Structure 1
Amino acid sequence: MKRRDFMKKGSAVVATSVVGSTLVASCGGGDTTAPDTTTGGTGAGTGANPAPTTPDPVATPAPVPDAPATTPAALVEQTFYITEGEHEMMDATGVGTIVPFRSFNVADVPDTINVPGKAIIVNQGDTVEITVVNRLQSVHNFTISRLVNDKNVVIADTGVIPAGETRLVSFTANVPGTYRYEDATIVNNMKINSMVGMHGGFAVMPLDANSGNPLNDQLTVGSRKFVQQLFWVFNDVDPNFNNAIINGTASSAFTPQYFTMNGLSGRPPAPLNGSPASSPGYADPTLDSMHDPRSMLVGALGDRALVRCINFGMAKHSMHIHANHFEWLTTDGDMVDGMMDADPVQTTKDVIPLNGKGGICDVIYPFDAPPDAWPIFNEATVQLAKDEGRKIAYPMHFHDEMTQSAKGGSYLFGLMTDVFYEPKPKA
């Protein structure tokens, strides 16, 4: 599909969720447009059934993070195994490209990968012990860091981990916030192993200053509250670069062909350029970023979700949300002016910049009724959709065009996910 056609048909795009049909409002006519009311669930009114999903034999999504302890000063232990494996990246031809990756794997299983690695959430004051086992024949390391006042602050570092050896790093999580972990080896001014998959998210939850108990609903003490949190870990993928690095050939050439969110890209439901009725892997939560539970935002009216965004790719991006605007809290460790205000108006944005090379930002998505939506959007609207077997959803995608495609032209195979509205739980 050409970009011009993609943009013209954007408002008609419909995706199917794991449990039913989805209503999607998409870019082009305004962010508060009511969801598309088509119910076929297979895209642009085609009525075709999704093709069987294609299993991926080696790449497995990282597990969701464990909930932090409810008491302070706990001991948190995690073991990672440095592994190599492959993942099939898809485009509009319907023929995937097998791409090699390296990862911090949670299972000691050869030829398997978790890209990104498992996210870790701890409480301020916890003792964290991370064991890293290098199952490869190459030298690696493991670091946890973030930017503070434009300087990289490292809070954990194993040092060099020779081939076949193990290292343990132990530290106290003192400062709340969002961090990245990665193999920080730099060659040709690039973190080559981080770029080929050795990365993940780490977070420290704050303690209440009076009681000393963990606060599970704030990014930092006094900031606006949320009821759920998740990580969006982004990356740019060049198969040729990955092959060169993993084969031991230093490379400075990097031309990304795929853009991922928590290791996955979109798999569209509609026929594109002669591809099958739906792309292989469509609606498979282990292959399709629009159906990946680690990436989708799912909530009821009144809910609020904290999203910890980390960009391990080389390029700076512009993150765009539909239905409601993000409440922008931090960028690279710096608080956004107004983030502590009770009224989020000063920090409310529909497009958030996200720096490359490990850039971090924290945002809250409010599950409010989209303003100016028609038909009127309320609890009855959401309940009616559920009763009729439909899902109300709005997209999240990036506004820099290259990220919305694969191989420079396969639109809808890029970096995107959905925001789903569910009815409030019945009392």
Structure 2
Amino acid sequence: MRKIFNKFLYICSVSLLLALLLLPVMSPLFHEPAQAIPSSTAADPEQKNEIPAVKQFHLYATDGTLALPDGTSVYVWGYSEKNEKGSATYPAPALTVNEGDQVEVTLTNIGTAKKGIKRVGHTIHFHGLDTDQANDGVPHTSKDLLVGESFSYQFQATHAGTYFYHCHVDTVEHLQMGMTGAFIVQAKDGAKAAWTSGPGFTKEYTFMLNEIDPVWHKAVEEGKKYDRTTFHPTYFTINGKAYPDTEKDPATMIDGKLGDKVLVRLINTGYQAHAMHLHGFHFEVIASDGRPLASPLMKDTVNVGPGERYDLLITFDQDGSYPFHSHNITDNTNNGIYPGGMHTMVQVTKDGKTPQGTNHHQHTATLPEEIREGNIVVISDMRYSIPELKVKQGTTVTWINNDPMFHTVTSIDDQFDSRHIEPGKQYSYTFQEKGTFPYYCATHPSMEASVIVE
């Protein structure tokens, strides 16, 4: 029995030794062959692993001033691309990257140009971008920057879409003061698509919606306390502009030709909801808060809540001029004067060329030589240039319509009435009697002025 067992061990040992010796030879029979390296790659010594591009920005936290259409100026805080106190813009510069980019945004708090302002800390929070805690810009969880300090926020832009950034220090005040800007992540490689492999577009616009309570801004400027539970905005802006200034800026005045597909990114950085309504077209709501919708929604009005973003795709299937504005009616006023505020226009032509006489970007009437030195009232920016014009008896007064819309010069006592004055046209009237003659625009009754004949 022992001899049989010893013989068995001998046979097992020999078999194991043979298996070990034959393993390198036999292994290809039991394993998938290794994939060959393509000859084109193997022959190209320059071929390297793809490294995401790095987009770098440098912003400076400081103060500035915003001019509104009625001549009002408000003190603002914000971000600037200049290392210069007082150079903040409203809104802040738009930052644009491509999907997949590594992003580095360096913020330096340089303080305010205006004296007597508190030396407060600032941060950048990238609203809607899923950054880690260290780059989230919230002072509760990551340090804010005091005057003179800098920090570089770093993250990867992983999802194409519409976002924004803002200061998260004492947010209720800093956001209203203007510390916010658009952050756009375009499709991979900057393709003209709403997102990578998403619907294409011909051109795009980004509209930042906001409202302004000048009482807050004045209080901050003067270093006075104010009630933050009392918020009564009187100005409403798209990209920091209120109508009619929106029509003069190609960034807020939409134009194109038949067949164009236009992407409009709506960003509400304010504290109130704004119901944006488009005349003449229905649009597709294709994305919300930086993510594509499973199915587009066909609408003509979309209510944009505070902090929300919507991407709209508009197909220009008819030509003409159409308003695009908030349907919260008070949003269309400048300090109570209508029209104003969150209102702009969409101009669609057959060939992409603006027809003569309907240029909404700029409409400047040329004054005839014989009346340039006379008594001229220019109608511009929804106002008569001289609220109270004093003239001598027998003087002829001429009104020049320098706005891109119809206006009238209508006497309150029916002494004179221009009827509609077309853009670029004029109306004259000779005052033969002494007295005060109030007048208004019949189309825009909040426009008022008077002529005093001595």
- TM bin, normalised by shorter chain, reads 0.5 to 0.7
Alignment-derived partner of residue 80 in structure 1: 59
Task: Show structure 1 runs of 5+ residues with no match.
Answer: 1-70, 208-213, 268-287, 340-346, 370-376, 378-391
Kindly provide the amino acid, as one letter, of the partner of residue 328 in structure 2. D
Alignment-derived partner of residue 266 in structure 1: 243
CA distance in 1, matches of 2:240, 2:201: 25
Higher Cα radius of gyration: 2
Alignment-derived partner of residue 331 in structure 2: 403
SS in 2 for 1:226: coil
The one of 276, 282, 286 aligned to 1:325:
282
Kindly provide the amino acid, as one letter, of the partner of residue 173 in structure 1. A
SS in 2 for 1:411: coil
How many Å apart are 1:337 and its aligned residue?
A: 4.7
Matches for 1:3-82 after TM superposition, within 5 Å: 73-82=52-61
The one of 213, 221, 241 aligned to 1:238:
213
Alignment-derived partner of residue 125 in structure 1: 100
SS in 2 for 1:242: helix
Kindly provide the amino acid, as one letter, of the partner of residue 300 in structure 2. D
Give the count of matched residue pairs: 290
How many Å apart are 1:247 and its aligned residue?
A: 4.6
1:139 counterpart = 2:121 = yes
1:289 counterpart = 2:256 = no
Alignment-derived partner of residue 191 in structure 1: 172
* Paired residues of 2:122 and 2:145 also in contact (CA < 8 A): yes
Matches for 1:98-177 after TM superposition, within 5 Å: 98-136=73-111, 137-146=119-128, 156-158=135-137, 159-177=143-161
Kindly provide the amino acid, as one letter, of the partner of residue 416 in structure 1. H
Task: Show structure 2 runs of 5+ residues with no match.
Answer: 1-49, 112-118, 138-142, 354-454
1:413 counterpart = 2:340 = yes
* Paired residues of 1:404 and 1:415 also in contact (CA < 8 A): yes
How many Å apart are 1:360 and its aligned residue?
A: 1.1
Alignment-derived partner of residue 308 in structure 2: 359
Give me the identity figure in percent: 30
SS in 2 for 1:78: strand
* Paired residues of 1:146 and 1:153 also in contact (CA < 8 A): no
* Paired residues of 2:121 and 2:169 also in contact (CA < 8 A): no
* Paired residues of 1:147 and 1:332 also in contact (CA < 8 A): no
CA distance in 1, matches of 2:350, 2:108: 44
Kindly provide the amino acid, as one letter, of the partner of residue 196 in structure 1. M
How many Å apart are 1:353 and its aligned residue?
A: 1.1
Alignment deviations for residues 114-148 of structure 1 (CA, whole Å, 9 cap, x no partner) = 11111122111111111112121221111112189
* 1:237–1:183 Cα change, 3 Å: same
CA distance in 1, matches of 2:298, 2:262: 14
* Paired residues of 2:243 and 2:340 also in contact (CA < 8 A): yes
How many Å apart are 1:250 and its aligned residue?
A: 6.0
Structure with larger RCO (C-alpha < 8 A, sep 6+): 1
How many Å apart are 1:201 and its aligned residue?
A: 0.8
The one of 250, 256, 262 aligned to 2:233:
256
Alignment-derived partner of residue 211 in structure 1: none
* 1:320–1:328 Cα change, 3 Å: same
Alignment deviations for residues 274-296 of structure 1 (CA, whole Å, 9 cap, x no partner) = xxxxxxxxxxxxxx112211112
Structure 1 length-normalised TM: 0.63
How many Å apart are 1:420 and its aligned residue?
A: 1.7
Alignment-derived partner of residue 182 in structure 1: 166
* 1:254–1:300 Cα change, 3 Å: same
CA distance in 2, matches of 1:79, 1:305: 30
- RMSD (Å) for aligned C-alpha atoms: 2.5
CA distance in 2, matches of 1:153, 1:72: 21
1:206 counterpart = 2:184 = no
How many Å apart are 1:215 and its aligned residue?
A: 5.3
Kindly provide the amino acid, as one letter, of the partner of residue 338 in structure 2. Y
CA distance in 1, matches of 2:282, 2:344: 15
* 1:146–1:140 Cα change, 3 Å: same
- Superposed structure 1 runs of 4+ greater than 6 Å apart: 152-155
CA distance in 2, matches of 1:155, 1:364: 35
How many Å apart are 1:338 and its aligned residue?
A: 1.5
Alignment deviations for residues 196-244 of structure 1 (CA, whole Å, 9 cap, x no partner) = 111011121233xxxxxx2522222443221222210011100111223
How many Å apart are 1:156 and its aligned residue?
A: 4.1
* Paired residues of 2:159 and 2:290 also in contact (CA < 8 A): no
SS in 2 for 1:119: strand
CA distance in 2, matches of 1:235, 1:336: 25
Alignment-derived partner of residue 218 in structure 1: 193
* Paired residues of 1:146 and 1:154 also in contact (CA < 8 A): no
How many Å apart are 1:317 and its aligned residue?
A: 1.2
* 1:154–1:143 Cα change, 3 Å: farther
Structure 2 length-normalised TM: 0.59
CA distance in 2, matches of 1:127, 1:332: 21
1:311 counterpart = 2:271 = no
Alignment deviations for residues 390-427 of structure 1 (CA, whole Å, 9 cap, x no partner) = xx4211111001100122x300121111112244379x
